[in-house]
Structure 1
Amino acid sequence: MPDELIRTLIVDGDTRLAEKHGSYVDQIPGFAVIGIVHSGAEALEFVSRGQPHLVLLDFLLPDTTGVEVCRTVRFRGSALDIIAVTSASDLATVRAALSYGIAQYLVKPLSLATFRDRLHRFATAHRQLAATSPHHLSQGEVDRALAVLRPPVAPVVDQPKGVSSTTLDSVVAQLRAETVPASAEDIAAALGVSRATARRYLEHLAVHRLAIRTHRYGRSGRPGNLYRWQGA
């Protein structure tokens, strides 16, 4: 799969979210949305004839559950990659999903930065596996591929009053996704928050040495700050 687009099927009972997630995928190089469906029956029919490489699967569908879709896909003998993108977060559902070999489990709502990060990890793991021997993998090759799929655990830092863990996670994911140092304005625009909010969270990361702060001088000669992720 390294030299071709990753053909992706979106399955979500919420038509608005399905279109939103489809637009997210379209913004990520290396992926192509080949279909968007809204029920388990449609998903299984599409998989049988559409040959996607990857399914982004909601687990709360109008006619069945994502677990049932996973079970049917596996019982048909398919090794199709599945990433759960769902608000279902109870332990039983997560365990069942893992037992059917899903690649990742993403809990809604999630930002474009998180979406991009996880799909980049998925693509990297596949490239690594495709570049190895077609017969046998070493333990190190297996470990490296699996490690790529798992994002690093966010470091534990003191969280002052007024700092939301959800917003902090979104800022971290967005900053990690930036390829060049970003300003508070850049992060604010990407996440849909105010510039003041973005700056407060970026400064929080800089204070805890999870982001590097540098200065940029504008046309007025007044300095502005740029931030670059330096955590794990």
Structure 2
Amino acid sequence: MIRVLIVEDEILIAEAHRTYVDRVAGFEVAGVAHTGRDAMRAAANAAAAGTPIDLVLMDIGLPDISGLDVAAAFTGTRPSPDVIAITSARDLAMVRSAVAHGVVLYLLKPFTFSAFRDKLDRYVEYRKALTAGETAVSQRDIDRAMGVLRSPEERSASPKGVAPQTLDEIARAVRDSADGLGAAEVGLAVGVSRVTAWRYLEKLADDSIVERQTEYGRAGRPQVRYIWKAASGS
């Protein structure tokens, strides 16, 4: 479960956020804070107790401290939580400031449950793309993780014929297989044709994300398996 701290000075809005979180599988509300100081205290206490906060839903306009300053202060907590800024501020200067203070996503008030769930779904994909404990993180890993945080419209600028979601699913299938996979196996796992799987696997290989390994059987053509490069020791 992803542990969530809700930081919102309006009690009714905070409860609405709690209700929304409760409706999204895989998330649980670990606490609610109505001021910036309470938020920092709650995050520090949770970390000290061994039950750290994973994600903070941060109202920017808090009564005591700017939510962005609170987000920046979280970098001193270990492990530090991720922050989704929730605000009615629409000016670009505020957005830039949020990014500079470590905010991973930005949600504008008022919003629907659908918009809220979309942000949490993207956050889950972000966490999966940068799985804790991996032995190596490549530039491709980082780019993919940051890419899932962008809106579908932003992600549509991918190379022609390459669907980012399909590429991510195929990469994840190979990464999760200790012995690697062939194109047919990937196609079955992801739900695409063998030819489509092969095309995406070849792109991953060309980008040095996976490694090709040729297997020679007793009869027939050689079979190519694709192995996650971190697993192959490369």
TM-score category by the smaller chain? 0.5 to 0.7
- What's the secondary structure of 2:85's corresponding residue? strand
Aligned residue in 1 for 2:20? 24
Measure how far apart 1:77 and its partner are: 6.3
Asked if residue 57 in structure 1 is aligned to residue 58 in structure 2, the reply is: yes
Q: Do the aligned partners of 2:86 and 2:108 also contact (CA within 8 Å) in 1?
A: yes
Q: Do the aligned partners of 2:89 and 2:108 also contact (CA within 8 Å) in 1?
A: yes
Q: Do the aligned partners of 1:67 and 1:93 also contact (CA within 8 Å) in 2?
A: no
Aligned residue in 2 for 1:14? 10
Measure how far apart 1:78 and its partner are: 5.3
Aligned residue in 2 for 1:138? 138
Aligned residue in 2 for 1:38? 34
Aligned 1:1-232 pairs, distance under 5 A: 5-50=1-46, 51-75=52-76, 79-130=80-131, 134-153=134-153
Q: Do the aligned partners of 1:74 and 1:100 also contact (CA within 8 Å) in 2?
A: no
Q: Which runs of 4+ in 1 moved over 6 A?
A: none
Measure how far apart 1:118 and its partner are: 0.9
- What's the secondary structure of 2:44's corresponding residue? helix
- Please tell me the root mean square deviation across aligned C-alpha atoms, in Å: 2.0
Measure how far apart 1:19 and its partner are: 0.6
Q: Do the aligned partners of 2:72 and 2:102 also contact (CA within 8 Å) in 1?
A: no
Specify every segment of 5 or more residues in structure 2 that has no aligned partner in the other structure, as ranges. Answer: 47-51, 155-234
Measure how far apart 1:142 and its partner are: 1.7
Aligned AA (1:66): G
Question: What per-residue deviation string (whole Å, max 9, x for no partner) do you get for residues 126-167 of structure 1?
Answer: 122217x6232222222221111111128xxxxxxxxxxxxx
Measure how far apart 1:76 and its partner are: 5.1
What is the rounded CA distance, in whole Å, between the counterparts of 1:118 and 1:45 in structure 2?
25
Q: Do the aligned partners of 2:7 and 2:39 also contact (CA within 8 Å) in 1?
A: yes
Aligned residue in 2 for 1:207? none
For normalisation by structure 2, the TM-score amounts to 0.60
Aligned residue in 2 for 1:172? none
Distance change (3 Å), C-alpha of 1:124 and 1:76 = closer
Aligned residue in 2 for 1:184? none
Structure whose alpha-carbon radius of gyration is higher: 2
For normalisation by structure 1, the TM-score amounts to 0.60
Question: What per-residue deviation string (whole Å, max 9, x for no partner) do you get for residues 21-71 of structure 1?
Answer: 111011000000011111101101001012211100000011111111122
